[in-house]
Structure 1
Amino acid sequence: MTLFTSAHWGIRTAEIAADGQIRLLPWPGDPDPNVIGLDQLEAGVQAIRVCRPAVRKSWLDGGPGSRPDLRGRDPFVEIGWDEALDLAAAEIDRVRKTHGNGSIFGGSYGWSSAGRFHHAQSQVHRFLNAAGGYVRHENSYSLGAARVILPHIIASMPYVMANHTSWDVLRDHTQLLLCFGGVPWKNAQISAGGVLRHHVRPGIDAMRVAGIRMVNVGPVGDNLDNAAAAWVPCRPNTDTAVLLGMAHVLHDEGLADRAFLDRYCTGYDRFLAYLNGGADGTARNPEWAERISGVPADTIRQLARDAASHRTMLNMSWSLQRASHGEQPVWALVAVAAMLGQIGLPGGGFGFGYGAANTLGSNEGLLVGPTLPQGRNAVSDFIPVARIADMLLSPGGSYPYDGKTRTYADIRLIYWAGGNPWHHHQDLNRLERAWQKPETVIVNEQYWTATAKHADIVLPATIPAERDDIGYSTREGHMVAMRQLVPPLGGARDDYDIFTELSRRLDCEETFTEGNDSAAWLRKLYEQNRGVLARQGIDIPDYDQFREIGLIDFADQKAPVVMFDAFRADPEANRLSTPSGRIEIFSETIDSFGLADCPGHPVWLEPDEWLGRLPAGDDRLHLLSDQPERKLHSQLDASAHSRDNKVGGREQVHLNPADAAERGIADGDVVELSNDRGACLAAARLNDRIMPGVARLSTGAWHDPDESGRDRHGNPNVLTLDKGTSSLAQGSVAQTCLVRITGPVNAPPCTTAFNLPHFVAREEN
């Protein structure tokens, strides 16, 4: 019998050697497998696991609120499970009784597991709901701006993600793939519930073989197959200006599809007045766009003409909306696609994130998978996920979000499970100050990450290979019986078992468990989902057979996908979910909010930090912090595969050779990146596919500050700006960041990110 498990990077089979050692292998049917995570059981990764419950020494000695300034530096005391659970439950009970459940923040942001039951975010939210509720987060760091604005203008982000026109349709019908921010296959190595067949690189290869023209507009040229695409360098954060310049050409030269705009859209004339400069006399033409973006006016003009004369798919990477006014490139892309009149046609229209995840562009069936119910949250408060430091630093403060004024809760306790805010969040030195505000931080964690080191109570959690589960992801064409391959390391327990014990102590066990252990839940969720699929005419084996087979391949459910084809065929019968039921190039709703930083139609607004604002003689570079190639976010950063991509134990910052030469920097030198927010060290990598004036330092290096707060490991989020995209969405602006780069750094310090915290006995002072 083949044993399977699932990871974000793919379905894995387990080969058991004669000595009992487990070797993980990619599923043999994957056309483009990767090796990420195959070494997750290696000794170097296991060595940094949390093996026993641990409590921060000052908190244990002095109680809640004791010396929060020592979080991240305090030693820990390892204790038994019963005592740890008693302490955690008593603290949750104290806070909810003294301050109310609205003082508990349920932090869970990250890709904790491909399994649908042992998914830390689902588990912690279900537990906190059972215990009376909690303050939650909305949206994501990846898509904070897009998730808010897309429903106003065309459709929800989940709908768009699940219905991207499929790669086979692009191959057969597209003539021009015009990308803003590329199609970075490295990002598409993953999907939330695991990948059976990787689509992106084979999809791009097929389009190249078919002779389809591809153009990549942006500051980086290596995020779309170099052999396939022409590169048009463009200043970071200025894509909106290029799109507006294209829109001006489409109207000015009579290339806009007025029939499509009249039938399927609303508000075009209001947008047109802005393009023509009706209010301020500034026409948003290619010459205007060139001054902002650096893209030649003739190039912008020709791109517009080419897009209008061919079946064109416009694509935008998610990174563009992780910037100041990140809502605007999303809206401008939709507006230009509407002017081309190809939305809903095979191979035409727009994509928002080809290359962002494997799911986008898949032709696998759109099926329902098993889901653990999370219960009802009695607390209505929430924050946009990227505003956590604001909330902690400004309790009771007000902020605008999606047309309403909201108030930050006064958080006394954070319970975090599944994720690492010291990876995701911006301006980590500011987060460090904010993290001192709560009285208690409790974390379920598998590894000694910076988040675990900044906690008061750390409870060791199992990894997917240590438990049974069910793997499934939308449009990934599979369901997998994830098998326990190894026993839990040390004293690690499943999140479900941890929360079961806590709920028993908090008198809400029945609400949380409904009388089920993990095995019963897995059987129940599978059989419920089996019934749902049966009503769709899809038969799958019963649970015991599923466990024996290990993998269900829904290949027979594949079908070509064309996004918004039903809407195009009949816009009245298939109205969009927008207020007008049509594509809103001008939104009456957003306009009614009266937001200066997000008015009622797409506009160019100057970023908080960008190359166009630099005074003469200022040698700062625009820093891009993209996703890493050899891990997902910060997961498995300690693995051999991830470490092999570091230089001297540090992440690499990519620089244009001309910028490096001006600074006396050679390939491989350790350099310092700095601004008013912080500093970090990284190894220089010269790359002529990075435009001059730009640097790229991928995220994922575990935070490793020295005594001054300078990160030794290459974590760009000590530099990035912690501010909302706008008053509409309050998303992350990680891609809006200027830095100085100096070097080489002589005698750079060793990295310590993977060192365990200091442990002491209880009686030590």
Structure 2
Amino acid sequence: MTGLRPTTSHWGAYGVRVGPDGGITVVPHPDDPAPSPLLGNVPGGLRHPTRVARPAVRRGWLEHGPGPAGTRGREEFVELDWDEALDLVAAELDRVRREHGNQAIFGGSYGWASAGRFHHAQSQLHRFLNTIGGFTSSRNSYSLGTSLVLLPHLVGSADEVLRAASSWPTIVENTELIVAFGGIPAKNVFVTPGGVTRHGTPGYLAALAASRVEMALVSPLRADLPDGLDTRWYPIVPATDVALMLGLAHTLAAEDRHDRAFLDRYTVGFGEVESYLLGRADGVVRDAAWAASICGIPAADIVGLARRMAARRTLITVTWSLQRIEHGEQPVWAALTLAAMLGQIGLPGGGFGHGYGSMGDVGDPGPTGRIPYLPQGRNPVSAFIPVARIADMLLHPGARYDYDGDRYTYPDIRLVHWAGGNPFHHHQDLFRLRRAFARPDTIIVHEPYWTSTARHADVVLPVTTTLEREDIGGGRRDTHLHAMHRAVAPVGAARDDYDILAGLAGRLGVVDAFTEGRDARGWIEHLYTAWRADLVRRGTDVPAFEEFWAAGEYRLPGGPGHHTLFERFRADPDAHPLATPSGRIELFSATVASFGYPDCPGHPVWLEPTEWTGAPRAAAYPLHLIANQPGTRLHSQLDGGAVSQAAKIAGREAVRLHPADAAARGIAAGDVVRVFNDRGGCLAGAVLTDELRPGVVQLPTGAWFDPLDEDPADEHGEGSPPGAGLCVHGNPNVLTADVPTSRLSQGCVGQHALVEVERWTDEPPRLTVDAPPRLVPRPGRGGTL
């Protein structure tokens, strides 16, 4: 990295070379065997036209004061100087907490933002809000909202299953058959919170190909496993994985190929599962023929796969995407049950895995020690929501909801303070979210770019990007801790989140509690020094801060090897019981059953998605949409970058259709099409491929939401009726349902929807997301800073 300014990102470490014209060149870290293609988005994002140049306030809020406003997302903004903007924000925060209490402030601030550990926007905001009395928070994640609640009931821990799974080297050495529900999508393995210096998963997948490990890909999308592997593709009907799993389980039980001794010693509840498989209570036998009628895989193939699974060292893995559907608990629970029936849980390279191919650090053998982080303090407010229930909270204050065995009440939110995220990317039913965002009195957003979230705010505060500030960064299994040097000066009037919040803290009388007397560099050095001292006490030689900063990185110690949760448990279940009521794997959970949730009973079951319910709706929208993660960006980040833009069709996101489905609708490759259902529609560019199941269309998330405005909403945000909205850029979350996975976890269901597709015959509406909204200077002040 000599001569480069080092930094890192969620998609990997790199160096920056600044040219004489201020442009930058990005160079991958030399230790990275498979640098992420997403690095190609970085140069074009630095000074993109959508950068927020100055603090800006929605004109209606500035002129009429706080209150619900259906014109959010449609109005022009007035640019202010920093002092006036911070004065306004501080006064509004103070008003809301005095008049309504701190629970009326929502600081969920869900998002990825920077890979830096100090300038972690969510931590910064939460620390600030805690110093002024707290806030209503959010729990869990859109990625794993279901599994994080379910797994503790089944195996006592979510984190060890998700973060300490069997390593890729162990799998390469021992596994004979991988049954990959949802595949192992190579596009996802470049991304990890905090990043990884060495992207190892592509190499391990190549090693699997060389060793001729047999792969069973269960997915509607052939691309969910890379080419070159010994793969048999099972192009399943979307959202029917549980039916297939139950058919496999029935075959194992009916042919006595299941491991009774393992089930008796290590699990509880198989009797209830077996009764369900055999239909003892309802007369429905969940055999291969039954499963075939639902999932579209021939019964003979189901039987054959079950027999191969029982005869080989088999790893059953489930991607995170499978739990982002209605009843998303069931595929995770059913896969765990299937693995338990094989009796291989805890064996090297066998058993159950969750998330291989969903994130770059799943299966990574790198270090597990904690890296420096910013303390957030204690939140005095107990109110919270499951993260994906934000629209319900804003639209229905005071309503009751179930969550993990308890009943809660949605708070009455008057102010939303958001930093480092973009809910108009990751939430579902975006036109409903738009109505929800009309409800609060005030929305404050910190953003480098004019995303749709920023456009729907009342106050937008411009923040720096990673390249415009100093930090320290690294991921959960990274081999390095990185010094993130500032490469360029801030664009426009952008400030760090820390500087912004320190300014607010000063106005609200809590600056000492928030800053502890340190500037940003002082905090970075303090966090590193405290982290270093802990390692030195444990006998690790770690350089002082000055040496680390000058070197640009520190190679983290590998540490001793570890045994996974299941390996320890299998070795001695009495000495290492699971943190479940029984101490065993709970194939039937009496605790979950006691909640009485019909959408999540006490053992894995097949539940048809309500999205399919009713023949008229299914007939109107006969195509299954898969809204998966993009391969050209991280979520919606840097959508204006070169890699993301190169994959667009006519400036719109690309939607993939089977040639037979396209021909039936008169659609040709490159056509602009409308993808729609009764929630809304979006325009996309058609790509034809036979590498997906007929009847399936695939449109990745992350295109910046660009609504075509027709009828403005009223002051309460009711606006146009459901289904009337159109995103002209191709965001599939205008089509997905904003309903929970179940009453147990309240996770998101954004992976699937039923849709129809038609060729767009008019001139496509122009895009607006590639430029800022209309900006005007403060009257009488010239808009100067």
Amino acid in the other structure paired with 1:226: D
1:475 aligns with 2:491: no
What do you get for the CA RMSD once the two structures are aligned?
Answer: 1.7
User: 2:761 maps to which residue?
Assistant: 745
User: 2:492 maps to which residue?
Assistant: 490
Report the Cα distance in structure 2 between the residues aligned to 1:697 and 1:390, rounded to whole angstroms. Answer: 25
SS of alignment partner, residue 223 of structure 2: coil
Report the Cα distance in structure 2 between the residues aligned to 1:210 and 1:611, rounded to whole angstroms. Answer: 45
Residue segments in structure 1 that go unaligned for 5+ positions in a row? none
Amino acid in the other structure paired with 2:65: G
Report the Cα distance in structure 1 between the residues aligned to 2:739 and 2:271, rounded to whole angstroms. Answer: 32
User: 2:706 maps to which residue?
Assistant: 704
SS of alignment partner, residue 91 of structure 2: helix
Question: For residues 532 and 637 of structure 1, do their structure 2 counterparts lie closer, same or farther at Cα, with a shift above 3 Å needed?
Answer: same
1:184-212 deviation per Cα after TM superposition (whole angstroms, max 9, x unaligned): 11111111011111122211110010010
The counterpart of 1:456, out of the listed 458, 461, 467, is: 458
Q: Note the C-alpha offset of 1:366.
A: 1.2
Report the Cα distance in structure 1 between the residues aligned to 2:192 and 2:761, rounded to whole angstroms. Answer: 38
SS of alignment partner, residue 70 of structure 1: coil
How do 1:403-482 residues align onto structure 2 when only pairs under 5 Å count? 403-482=405-484
Amino acid in the other structure paired with 1:670: V
User: 2:749 maps to which residue?
Assistant: 733
User: 2:356 maps to which residue?
Assistant: 354
Q: Note the C-alpha offset of 1:28.
A: 1.4
Task: Tell me if structure 2 keeps the 8 A contact 1:672–1:745.
Answer: no
User: 1:104 maps to which residue?
Assistant: 105
The counterpart of 1:757, out of the listed 773, 778, 783, is: 773
User: 1:263 maps to which residue?
Assistant: 265
Deviates more, 1:571-580 or 1:671-680: 571-580
Q: Note the C-alpha offset of 1:629.
A: 0.6
Deviates more, 1:570-579 or 1:365-374: 570-579
Question: For residues 625 and 282 of structure 1, do their structure 2 counterparts lie closer, same or farther at Cα, with a shift above 3 Å needed?
Answer: same
User: 1:604 maps to which residue?
Assistant: 606
User: 1:646 maps to which residue?
Assistant: 648
1:531-581 deviation per Cα after TM superposition (whole angstroms, max 9, x unaligned): 222344332111111101111223644858655211111112222222222
SS of alignment partner, residue 32 of structure 2: coil
Q: Note the C-alpha offset of 1:349.
A: 0.9
Task: Tell me if structure 2 keeps the 8 A contact 1:315–1:354.
Answer: yes
Question: For residues 221 and 387 of structure 1, do their structure 2 counterparts lie closer, same or farther at Cα, with a shift above 3 Å needed?
Answer: same
1:573-600 deviation per Cα after TM superposition (whole angstroms, max 9, x unaligned): 2222222221110111101101111000
How do 1:709-724 residues align onto structure 2 when only pairs under 5 Å count? 709-724=725-740
User: 1:630 maps to which residue?
Assistant: 632
Task: Tell me if structure 1 keeps the 8 A contact 2:245–2:335.
Answer: yes
Q: Note the C-alpha offset of 1:107.
A: 2.8
Task: Tell me if structure 2 keeps the 8 A contact 1:37–1:636.
Answer: no
Q: Note the C-alpha offset of 1:170.
A: 0.8
Task: Tell me if structure 1 keeps the 8 A contact 2:612–2:618.
Answer: no
The counterpart of 1:528, out of the listed 513, 527, 530, is: 530
Amino acid in the other structure paired with 2:707: P
Q: Note the C-alpha offset of 1:299.
A: 1.1
User: 2:172 maps to which residue?
Assistant: 171
Task: Tell me if structure 2 keeps the 8 A contact 1:169–1:561.
Answer: no
Report the Cα distance in structure 2 between the residues aligned to 1:104 and 1:557, rounded to whole angstroms. Answer: 42
Report the Cα distance in structure 1 between the residues aligned to 2:218 and 2:445, rounded to whole angstroms. Answer: 42
Amino acid in the other structure paired with 2:73: G
Query: What is the count of residue pairs matched by the alignment?
Result: 763
The counterpart of 1:240, out of the listed 236, 239, 242, is: 242
Q: Note the C-alpha offset of 1:42.
A: 3.0
Task: Tell me if structure 2 keeps the 8 A contact 1:286–1:297.
Answer: yes
Task: Tell me if structure 1 keeps the 8 A contact 2:192–2:475.
Answer: yes
Amino acid in the other structure paired with 1:446: P
Report the Cα distance in structure 2 between the residues aligned to 1:44 and 1:478, rounded to whole angstroms. Answer: 25
Task: Tell me if structure 2 keeps the 8 A contact 1:363–1:561.
Answer: no
Q: Note the C-alpha offset of 1:612.
A: 9.7
User: 2:503 maps to which residue?
Assistant: 501
Q: Note the C-alpha offset of 1:761.
A: 3.3
Q: Note the C-alpha offset of 1:14.
A: 2.0
Question: For residues 561 and 211 of structure 1, do their structure 2 counterparts lie closer, same or farther at Cα, with a shift above 3 Å needed?
Answer: farther
Amino acid in the other structure paired with 1:685: V
Task: Tell me if structure 1 keeps the 8 A contact 2:625–2:698.
Answer: yes
User: 1:581 maps to which residue?
Assistant: 583
Amino acid in the other structure paired with 1:355: G
1:364-393 deviation per Cα after TM superposition (whole angstroms, max 9, x unaligned): 121111111111111101111110000001
1:606-631 deviation per Cα after TM superposition (whole angstroms, max 9, x unaligned): 10124996789656201110011110
Amino acid in the other structure paired with 1:88: V
Report the Cα distance in structure 2 between the residues aligned to 1:213 and 1:261, rounded to whole angstroms. Answer: 26
1:390 aligns with 2:406: no
1:368 aligns with 2:370: yes
Q: Note the C-alpha offset of 1:136.
A: 0.5
Question: For residues 161 and 43 of structure 1, do their structure 2 counterparts lie closer, same or farther at Cα, with a shift above 3 Å needed?
Answer: closer
User: 1:225 maps to which residue?
Assistant: 226
User: 1:195 maps to which residue?
Assistant: 196
Report the Cα distance in structure 2 between the residues aligned to 1:37 and 1:204, rounded to whole angstroms. Answer: 22
Q: Note the C-alpha offset of 1:126.
A: 0.6
Amino acid in the other structure paired with 2:623: L
Task: Tell me if structure 2 keeps the 8 A contact 1:45–1:636.
Answer: no
User: 2:718 maps to which residue?
Assistant: none
Task: Tell me if structure 2 keeps the 8 A contact 1:169–1:560.
Answer: no
Q: Note the C-alpha offset of 1:151.
A: 0.8
1:480-532 deviation per Cα after TM superposition (whole angstroms, max 9, x unaligned): 11111111111111101111110111111122112221111111111111122
Amino acid in the other structure paired with 2:124: Q
Amino acid in the other structure paired with 1:157: A
Question: For residues 52 and 669 of structure 1, do their structure 2 counterparts lie closer, same or farther at Cα, with a shift above 3 Å needed?
Answer: same
User: 1:86 maps to which residue?
Assistant: 87
Task: Tell me if structure 1 keeps the 8 A contact 2:45–2:641.
Answer: no
Deviates more, 1:305-314 or 1:556-565: 556-565
Q: Note the C-alpha offset of 1:745.
A: 2.9
Residue segments in structure 2 that go unaligned for 5+ positions in a row? 711-724, 781-785
How do 1:147-166 residues align onto structure 2 when only pairs under 5 Å count? 147-166=148-167
Q: Note the C-alpha offset of 1:112.
A: 0.5
User: 2:209 maps to which residue?
Assistant: 208
The counterpart of 1:519, out of the listed 508, 521, 526, is: 521
Amino acid in the other structure paired with 1:368: R
1:422-461 deviation per Cα after TM superposition (whole angstroms, max 9, x unaligned): 1011001101111111000001111000000110011111
Question: For residues 302 and 43 of structure 1, do their structure 2 counterparts lie closer, same or farther at Cα, with a shift above 3 Å needed?
Answer: closer
SS of alignment partner, residue 568 of structure 2: helix
Report the Cα distance in structure 1 between the residues aligned to 2:539 and 2:607, rounded to whole angstroms. Answer: 50
Report the Cα distance in structure 2 between the residues aligned to 1:444 and 1:361, rounded to whole angstroms. Answer: 34
Amino acid in the other structure paired with 1:747: E
How do 1:25-174 residues align onto structure 2 when only pairs under 5 Å count? 25-42=27-44, 45-65=47-67, 68-174=69-175
Question: For residues 225 and 612 of structure 1, do their structure 2 counterparts lie closer, same or farther at Cα, with a shift above 3 Å needed?
Answer: farther
Report the Cα distance in structure 1 between the residues aligned to 2:127 and 2:667, rounded to whole angstroms. Answer: 52
1:69-98 deviation per Cα after TM superposition (whole angstroms, max 9, x unaligned): 111111101001010000000000000000
Deviates more, 1:164-173 or 1:148-157: 148-157
Question: For residues 676 and 731 of structure 1, do their structure 2 counterparts lie closer, same or farther at Cα, with a shift above 3 Å needed?
Answer: same
Deviates more, 1:733-742 or 1:562-571: 562-571
Question: For residues 534 and 462 of structure 1, do their structure 2 counterparts lie closer, same or farther at Cα, with a shift above 3 Å needed?
Answer: same
Report the Cα distance in structure 2 between the residues aligned to 1:156 and 1:533, rounded to whole angstroms. Answer: 27
Q: Note the C-alpha offset of 1:157.
A: 2.7
User: 1:537 maps to which residue?
Assistant: 539
User: 1:291 maps to which residue?
Assistant: 293
Report the Cα distance in structure 2 between the residues aligned to 1:408 and 1:498, rounded to whole angstroms. Answer: 29
SS of alignment partner, residue 684 of structure 2: strand
SS of alignment partner, residue 386 of structure 1: helix
Q: Note the C-alpha offset of 1:762.
A: 3.4
1:10-40 deviation per Cα after TM superposition (whole angstroms, max 9, x unaligned): 1011224466643221101111112313442
Report the Cα distance in structure 1 between the residues aligned to 2:76 and 2:617, rounded to whole angstroms. Answer: 46
Task: Tell me if structure 2 keeps the 8 A contact 1:7–1:193.
Answer: yes
Report the Cα distance in structure 2 between the residues aligned to 1:620 and 1:136, rounded to whole angstroms. Answer: 38
Report the Cα distance in structure 2 between the residues aligned to 1:232 and 1:110, rounded to whole angstroms. Answer: 34
Q: Note the C-alpha offset of 1:352.
A: 0.6
